[in-house]
Amino acid sequence: MRNISDGAQTVLPGMPRRLLRASPKSLADFSDCPRRYRYANIDRPTPARGPRYAHHTVGTALHQVLASWWDLPVEKRTPGAARQLLYSAWTPTGFRDAEQSDRWRARAAGWLTDYVTGLDPTEEPRARERTVSTMTERMTLSGRVDRIDERGDELVVVDYKTGRVPSTDDEARGSQALALYVLAVRRTLRRPCNRVELHHLPTGTVASFEHTEKSLANHVRRAEDVAVDIGAATQAMDAGQDPDEAFPAVPGRQCSWCDFRPSCPTGQAAAPARETWSFLPEDDEA
């Protein structure tokens, strides 16, 4: 009987294909650098990671607050309460010193005040920090959505952004992660969902896109192309190919801040390490 090769496994005729377990982040990791994907998803124990960056600390604290704020009684969902939650969630990890950390905490508190002021505390989101999942022909996909709003009969995927550059409608349209979340929300919550929104907290702007079945299919097709490549690389490594050859590094300036820089000689040789606070706009001289 002839066997049919399918990425990381051999599939007998008539047998169901074993699906790759993936997330939007793992697919993006492989597209950016296959070795980064291997470090994060295959190697056990997971290789050592580098230090945490200050801009990640800012983003994590804001995301945590915007999830916890909705847990408060309606009458206590105020901008002042959001600031108090931020002060409790804040850590100085990654900042140059206490003065810089305090300055950024105050800045983040200002963003929160403006953003929360524009929210209606009585309009409960359908979900917050919700894990959703779906299946395609080659993958089982899961990921965590920042917020899912209920707008009439439809659900809306909301993603918080805290970077220096405001989000754009083109970014919302081109985000594979958001498109896959739309499909996962549909499957998990059994409700229509087409719209995705990027809420940029520093500027209070909202970028959006209304997906169609065609645009979603395009994103799925590209995601499945990555899944095929992951399967081929995994199969090659399982067959005896050197892991660093099966999952090659893609060196470049991004190696300066890669999480796995301490474990990757190729990345260390490609670019010098950046300071952990260097992505903060007023402190970035690069």
For tokens 């399982």, the residue is 238
**Residue 76 included in any domain:** yes
What phi and psi values does residue 122 have, to the nearest 5 degrees?
Answer: -90, -10
Phi, psi of 95 (to 5 degrees): -80, 160
Residue 15 has what pLDDT? 56
Domain interval for residue 72:
54-117
- If you write DSSP's letter for every residue of 247-271 in order, what string do you get? S----SGGGGS-TTGGG-HHHHHHS
**Per-residue pLDDT, 65:** 98
Residues 117, 130 contacting (CB under 8 angstroms): no
- Please state, in angstroms and rounded to a whole number, the distance separating the CA atoms of residues 11 and 215: 31
Low-confidence ranges of the chain (pLDDT < 70): 1-17, 283-286
Indicate whether 92 belongs to any domain: yes
pLDDT value, residue 18: 81
- What does the alpha-carbon distance between residue 53 and residue 219 come to, in Å, rounded to a whole number? 30
Q: Check residue 143 and give its pLDDT.
A: 96
Residue with tokens 């003065």: 99
Rounded CA-CA distance 80/69 in Å is 11
Domain annotation covers residue 65: yes
Residue spans of beta strands (DSSP E) within 136-243: 139-151, 154-161, 193-200, 205-210
Q: Is 218 exposed, middle or buried (0-12, 13-18, 19+ CB in 10 A)?
A: middle
Mean pLDDT for the chain overall = 93
Q: Is the pTM of this model over 0.75?
A: yes
Q: Which three-class secondary structure state does DSSP give residue 283?
A: helix
* Domain count of the fold of the chain: 1
Cα(194)–Cα(154) distance, integer angstroms: 8
In a domain, 144, yes or no: no
Measured CA to CA, the distance from residue 63 to residue 174 in angstroms comes to: 22
pLDDT of residue 261: 96
Angle between helices 34-41 and 24-32 (to 10 degrees): 140
112 in any annotated domain: yes
